[in-house]
A and B are shown apart, each in its own frame.
Chain A
């Protein structure tokens, strides 16, 4: 089994890492066509820190799934690192997801049969990292999110906030360039939330590209740029700094 082919994404230049061109996502519900995203135009540069806001059901999670190459758009173009995503095959998409993108899902999506450490190790396993190295890195990440003493617990034995932190640790496993987080502080008390925010700030400082969905104005304030979605359209967007 060869190394997952690294589709050389143009992440090195200061160019546009992510470009949406009239991107649409529709769901066919019986005879009704549900337009969840309508002609989204968006450009994200390398190192951007983007906060996506909007009412429930406005299509934020759908947008994030598209960015993360999990879903395919109904129409419009999506360029990632200079590549038209629609031209990439499944293996290439898998490689991009595993290597360059870190997901934090709204519903955590931890594997319930695995303990904390093993959950964090999953992305590293698919990149072929050695067992020892991935273990060391997983412990490091668990300590970073404050779960160093819980590494052998199953997700069901953790609180919602702790699960969320495992999900964040897992998203950082392969040191991805883009981090996509769906309400990463949604289930946390203010102190833990602040810890997470500090981590995000640190990642931003390291030059990662962050796209965060949040309902919390304070968190949005941390970002460099805010986008407000409404009914599948970009309603407003502005820069914080």
Chain B
């Protein structure tokens, strides 16, 4: 009985909406755009958020990254270029970390040198990374072929190297890379393994902001990474480097390590460990020549920012839905007053207030649900175009679909109720006289 009535009332609603097609379409547009923008905005927000999270996660959420930075205040203090500068992380630092911090699982000291790599007559700029066998534990790169460094390589300062896929593609267009020799500087290194390319992470952007010059040198030109034993690196490249500087010709720098990555066993240990590292570093470094990066902290910060971002986007979209709802209410009020006489006739022929309410509410609901469905459709296509042409990642979540559909239903009920009540509470005889 109820279902039957509902069916017929809906039929009636569809009919009268169809009678005023243009008006119905225009009214539904408000909801369509509202729902579409809710979905699209949430998708874009979610996409940006996941992208940022993924970038940060690549740094390793259990890692604490300590980097060498060139101290800047010295130069300003003296007002002239120093010809010799010694700064940055040292092997002692790494040793101190190992001794003073409980819960530390892995410590990876890294030495980075920008260099040229030769294979036959091919030459590319690379970053030579002197590191330890357990480097892979702190890094998202994987071994693709061959092997990584071994303890033997470290102890005997072997002239071997592991190249990443970018280097492989640049240098070994035709040959199988394993067992081949690459020339870096004046020495030859045998290729023993291949690893995946290091994805570009957020930290490089941050570094860029802080230390533009150094980054340009590194990231600007290099075509990939070559990993060699840390001991070999120390032996071959030493710790001195000659820097061409803008005003005063040449400058000699001594840097032992560019980076120490500390990995802890558990996420709870990240922040305490960071504090300990901070204290240790403060005690032994007079100059401000290091920088601590905690991906976990960044991750949480990013999450907070993204949440705010999502709320802002969502509210803007919700306001557009609200405006759409007010538009619907406006039209329904107009419809009710236009159909006053019809309402009077129906009342005279036995319609109860309930029936009239139901009739007008069903029209509003039909409009909003149709608008909601179309809105979901458009809301799902917009992110597609954004991803395609705007090169922005987007993620449509099921909850955003449900949310916007629920909102459009709520808008329909909320804004349809008042016009429907107005229609039902009109005096039958008054409305029959209405012209």
Contacts and interface: CB of A to CB of B under 8 A. Distances in A.
Interface of A: 1-4, 65, 68, 70-71, 90-91, 94-95, 97-99, 103, 105, 109-113, 122-123, 125-128, 130-131, 170, 174
Interface of B: 1-2, 4-5, 8, 15-16, 19, 341-342, 344-355, 428-429, 432
29 contacts: A1-B1, A2-B1, A70-B347, A70-B348, A71-B429, A90-B352, A90-B353, A94-B350, A97-B347, A97-B348, A98-B349, A98-B350, A98-B351, A99-B350, A110-B345, A111-B346, A113-B19, A122-B345, A122-B349, A123-B349, A125-B8, A126-B349, A126-B350, A126-B351, A126-B352, A126-B355, A128-B1, A131-B8, A170-B349
Nearest to A127: B350
Nearest to A131: B8
Contacts of A131: 8
A113 B19 CA distance: 8
Contacts of A123: 349-350
A98 to B, nearest CB: 2
Given A94-B352, A128-B4, 6 more contacts: A4-B352, A91-B354, A97-B347, A126-B349, A127-B350, A174-B350
A188 B196 CA distance: 94
A1 B2 contact: yes
B135 to A, nearest CB: 73
Q: From DSSP, what is the main secondary structure of chain B's interface residues?
A: helix
Contacts of B342: 111-113
B354 A109 contact: no
A95 B350 contact: yes
A130 B19 CA distance: 24
Contacts of A65: 429
B350 A1 contact: no
Contact of A1 (B5, B16, B19, B432): B5
A127 B349 CA distance: 10
Nearest to A108: B345
A122 B346 contact: yes
Contact of A109 (B1, B345, B355): B345
A68 B348 contact: yes
A90 B350 CA distance: 10
Contact of B428 (A70, A95, A128, A170): A70
Most A C-beta atoms less than 10 A away, residue of B2, B15, B349, B354: B349
B350 A97 contact: yes
Given A1-B1, A109-B341, A131-B8, A70 B350 contact: no
A128 B7 CA distance: 12
A34 B138 CA distance: 95
10 shortest interchain CB distances as A-B pairs: A98-B350, A126-B350, A94-B352, A123-B349, A71-B429, A109-B345, A70-B429, A126-B351, A1-B2, A97-B350
Nearest to A96: B350
Nearest to A107: B432
B379 to A, nearest CB: 33
Most B C-beta atoms less than 10 A away, residue of A94, A105, A112: A94
Contact of A70 (B341, B353, B432): B432
Contacts of B350: 4, 94-95, 97-99, 123, 126-127, 174
Contacts of B355: 126
Contacts of B432: 70, 105, 109
B31 to A, nearest CB: 24
Most A C-beta atoms less than 10 A away, residue of B16, B345, B347, B355: B345
B354 A1 contact: yes
A180 B354 CA distance: 25
Given A70-B429, A71-B429, A113-B16, A103 B8 contact: no
Contacts of A111: 342, 345-346
Most B C-beta atoms less than 10 A away, residue of A1, A68, A103, A128: A1
A94 B16 contact: no
Contacts of A127: 350
Nearest to B3: A1
A131 B345 CA distance: 20
Nearest to A170: B349
Nearest to A3: B1
B335 to A, nearest CB: 12
B423 to A, nearest CB: 14
A94 to B, nearest CB: 4
Contacts of A128: 1, 4-5
A111 B347 CA distance: 12
A126 B348 contact: no
A97 B19 CA distance: 29
Nearest to A4: B352
Contacts of B428: 70
A110 B346 CA distance: 10
A127 B346 CA distance: 12
Nearest to A65: B429
B119 to A, nearest CB: 83
Contact of A103 (B4, B19, B349, B353): B349
A116 B4 CA distance: 22
B355 to A, nearest CB: 6
A109 B346 contact: no
Nearest to A95: B350
Nearest to B2: A1
Contacts of A95: 350, 352
